[in-house]
Amino acid sequence: MRCSGTCGSVARPLGGAASQEWAVMFMCPDNRYRIGLLASKIQTRTDLAVRQLAGDVRGGSMRRVAGLTLTGLGAFFVASALLLRFYIPGQVIKFPLNEYDVLTLTGNNLSYFSVAQLKELSGVSMRATSTFRGIVKAGSSSTAVWDNFTALEDVTNHQPVQYSSQRSAFDRRTGALVNCCGAAVDSNTKIRQSGLAFVWPIGAQRKTYQVFDTTLLKPVPARYVGTATINGMTAYKFVEQVSNERFGQQAVPRSLAGLPGQGSVTLSENYTATNTYWVDPVTGTVLALSQNDKVALEDSTGAARLVALQGQVVTTPQTDQAQVNIARSAQNKIRLIQDIGPLVLVIVGIGLVVLGIMLIMRQRDEEEPVYDEDPVGSAA
């Protein structure tokens, strides 16, 4: 059997007829070229298929890893949102330890007994300056300790009327007084304080609260009576009322009491008050304050023999605005922690979870590689 074309040699017999025919085909140069071309194409197809399979595996693995990562990250964001909404606020939203605040109250047409002049003065203007200062070292993560010093002045006659001081320790979220840390009223540490003093609860409710009264040295109910607006901010209005309640007694010269004779007379000290608090319910900040008090010395018949102090003072417009600014700043921080932060985390977290699941579930369409369709037996 001969090769076609230029090949003229005769193949060596390898065995049977079929073996001799394959031998002739293999030994022929043209046939060897065609066989080599076929093998090359088979190898190329095999390599491409292997590379495509490997690429699909690597691509699928990358997508699964990315999907699982995004899903886990999204779940972490959602869990963080729940913590930020329900747990973190109780740990970080508190009254400060390093408080510093000054309230100014003024009033006209007040009357009081002047110790300097030993007579009752009426129709005077007064100013009360109340300074609050936090005692950082005395406080803790749960308890704040603040000092208050109040000076009442007769601005008409340019003379002091009275001074008072108070140190109170209280819960940093509820504002409830606790007896510790050197709490005192006018340096008297034996007085037990209870109720509220300098602040109201964070998240105050529309109900009656007990407010510690430094004149009676005990808590007095402050009733919720409605809402009001202080410089654009909604406030809860609470009213504390005391009706001619005796809190002590004092010996004074009979002449000062308007009684005949020499010597002194012991009179009871009686207190009447209507104190009004406008409170931001979100932060517990007192936005405005009105104090309408009367302290009178009465005899056994109930007749007032001497008026120690009578009249009304209210916070100034500047103080009201400053308190509103403090409350608004605190409200913004609370909303960021309780509302805005959790909402953003939930939205981002859900978005990441959805994207991660889409990557995990996505199936790439299988694409067949495109090859040149050269006939196996065609010449190069």
| 256-268 confidence digits (pLDDT tens) | 888 898 899 999 9
Name the token pair of 174: 């509820």
Q: Return phi, psi of residue 156, to 5°.
A: -75, -45
- Interatomic CA distance for residues 235 and 289, integer angstroms: 12
pLDDT of amino acid 372: 52
Amino acid identity of 319? T
Question: Could you tell me which residue, 97 or 14, shows the higher pLDDT?
Answer: 97
| Residues 135/148, Cβ–Cβ less than 8 Å | no
pLDDT of amino acid 34: 58
Q: Which of 64, 56, 123, 154 is nearest to 362 (CA)?
A: 64
Q: Hey, what's the torsion of the CAs at 256, 259, 262, 268, to 10 degrees? A: -70
pLDDT of amino acid 69: 83
pLDDT of amino acid 73: 85
- Interatomic CA distance for residues 207 and 216, integer angstroms: 22
DSSP label at 178? Answer: E
For the beta carbon of residue 189, count every other beta carbon within 10 angstroms.
11
pLDDT of amino acid 29: 55
pLDDT of amino acid 145: 98
Q: Is the pLDDT of residue 22 over 60?
A: no
Which of 124-133, 144-153, 209-218, 360-369 has the lowest average pLDDT?
A: 360-369
Which domains are present in the chain? 11-86+341-363 (no CATH), 95-315 (2.30.230)
Confidence of residue 222 (pLDDT cuts 50, 70, 90): very high
Q: What number is the average pLDDT over the span 22-34?
A: 51
pLDDT of amino acid 345: 84
pLDDT of amino acid 44: 55
Q: Is the pLDDT of residue 167 over 90?
A: yes
Q: Which are the contacts of 124, defined by CB distance < 8 A and separation ≥ 6? A: 109, 110, 111, 112, 154, 155, 156, 157
Q: Is the pLDDT of residue 27 over 70?
A: no
pLDDT of amino acid 47: 53
If DSSP codes are grouped into helix, strand and coil, which group holds residue 87? coil
pLDDT of amino acid 70: 78
Pairing of strands 209-213, 218-230: antiparallel
| 54-110 confidence digits (pLDDT tens) | 454 455 567 777 777 878 887 887 888 788 787 777 667 999 999 999 999 999 999
What is the average pLDDT score of the chain? Answer: 84
**Matching residue, tokens 């922690």:** 337
Q: What number is the average pLDDT over the span 134-153?
A: 97
Report percent pLDDT > 70 for the chain. 78
Report percent pLDDT > 90 for the chain. 60
CA distances from 361 to 17, 34, 56, 59 (A): 59, 46, 15, 13
Q: Is the pLDDT of residue 13 over 50?
A: no
Q: Is the pLDDT of residue 9 over 60?
A: no
pLDDT of amino acid 236: 99
pLDDT of amino acid 207: 98
If DSSP codes are grouped into helix, strand and coil, which group holds residue 12? coil
| 183-218 confidence digits (pLDDT tens) | 999 999 999 999 999 999 999 999 999 999 999 999
Which of 62-71, 138-147, 173-182 has the lowest average pLDDT?
A: 62-71
Q: What number is the average pLDDT over the span 169-184?
A: 97
